[in-house]
Amino acid sequence: MTGYLLFFAAALAGVVGHRSRFARFFVLTACWLIMAFNTSNADFAGYEYFYEFRIEEWSGLNPGYVLSERVAWALGFDFLQYRMMMSTVALLLIAWFVNRYTRNGAIVLSLYLLLPFLYDVVQFKFFISAAIALFALRFLIDRVRFFALKYAIAMLLAYSVHPASVLFTFLLVGLLGRGRSARVSFAITVVIFLLVYTGIAQAVLSGLTDSIKAEAYFAQMSRFGSIPYLISVGLQVFIVYITQSYTAEVFEKADRPTLSVVRCGEGHAQEGQDDAAARFLSFFDSAVYSFLPIAAFIPLSIQNFYRPIRSASILFFIYFAIMLFEQRESLSDRGRTFLVLAFSVWMIGTVFLVYYPVLDLVVAPELTNNLLWS
């Protein structure tokens, strides 16, 4: 019961105190307590076995992940202490990224707690990798000096922890203008769907991984089970697209350029959270279309290929927080109403879609099996 109370209290605190630093700290602390002190979940035993027996070569044990284990071994940590260490690092990366681009970090972290945090507790290795990949976007958004090199290094690190993080590189289309990004993303999406449904993608990708991963990722393609997930992803893109149209409408009436043209050139990243939020919006207005080609892989394996979209949803949450609370003047009343209602429908539907089938497998074990209260 304690785990459930903490979970829902933190979720509520983040929504009610969306701009409160205390609420932000409380939600982040709740995430850490639930994740770091979890003692049993669907993947826990496997991770623990490989760690305790110091197995370094096996399917899914990638160099970056093994390196993090070696650091913990050198420090004399047991497996639970290792999870504490890595959950601290990864959650701080996520919190830093969120706080960089919005003053309303509490509500973003609260939404992250609701989705996809509970899956991150289970799929711990991918969680670490995704945290690095999302943090790496800071270099693209802010266009810091040598941003391309820094981004490449960060993505190599993420890839070394979990190869599926390579799918986050589709977000590079955020560097293109909105129109070009949409056209490129749609074209890539069509190509990927053709490769998937002709079996070419499975044949090629199976040759790039070991037999165990090939069996898990490519052996059995979903026919209709992937449709709700594809609809969820499509709705995310649709919400941003329609919100963009409302934004353009307001700015056209005011005879001003839209927020989407606010870009900072290489080496000229400005200071201040307003500038950071504007840069984020400029990037995400284009990057959101990258969700489509990533989603095109979902029929291959829903749970494995929906993961990047699930993790990248934190970008969608930041967008929602900025547009609703920090850029209110850029949306008409009708635009704000659409954003709130559409986002609520998407959030409720997606949480139900993702968690309802696994309440006993994912949700209950993570909120009840904890060193602090069980």
Confidence category of residue 203, pLDDT binned at 50, 70, 90:
confident
Q: pLDDT of 337-348, one tens digit each? A: 999 999 999 999
Spatial separation of the C-alpha atoms in residues 353 and 366, rounded to whole Å: 18
| pLDDT of residue 362 exceeding 90 | no
pLDDT recorded at residue 266: 37
Q: What's the maximum distance between 2 C-alpha atoms anywhere in the chain?
A: 66
Q: Give the pair of three-digit tokens for residue 346.
A: 């998407």
Secondary element (H or E) of residue 288? none
C-beta atoms surrounding 54 within 10 Å: 10
More confident residue, 360 or 8: 8
Closest listed residue to residue 343, CA positions, set 202, 243, 210: 243
Contacts 24+ apart (CB under 8 A), 328-333: 329/250, 330/247, 330/250, 330/251, 330/258, 330/259, 331/243, 331/246, 331/247, 331/250, 332/246, 332/249, 332/250
Distance of CA 134 to the CA centre of its chain: 7
More confident residue, 35 or 200: 35
Question: What value does the mean pLDDT take over residues 274-279?
Answer: 88
| pLDDT of residue 36 exceeding 70 | yes
pLDDT recorded at residue 81: 97
Residue position matching structure tokens 């979990």: 162
| pLDDT of residue 285 exceeding 80 | yes
Spatial separation of the C-alpha atoms in residues 365 and 296, rounded to whole Å: 31
Q: pLDDT of 41-80, one tens digit each? A: 989 999 999 999 999 887 678 899 999 999 999 999 999 9
| pLDDT of residue 232 exceeding 70 | yes
**Which 3 state secondary structure label does DSSP give 38?**
strand
pLDDT recorded at residue 199: 87
Q: Give the pair of three-digit tokens for residue 4.
A: 């459930």
Q: pLDDT of 208-224, one tens digit each? A: 776 777 776 776 776 78
Question: What value does the mean pLDDT take over residues 98-124?
Answer: 95
Q: pLDDT of 116-163, one tens digit each? A: 999 999 999 999 999 999 999 999 999 988 999 999 999 999 999 999
* DSSP tag of 260: G
Bridge partners of 370?
38
pLDDT recorded at residue 329: 80
pLDDT recorded at residue 263: 41
pLDDT recorded at residue 225: 87
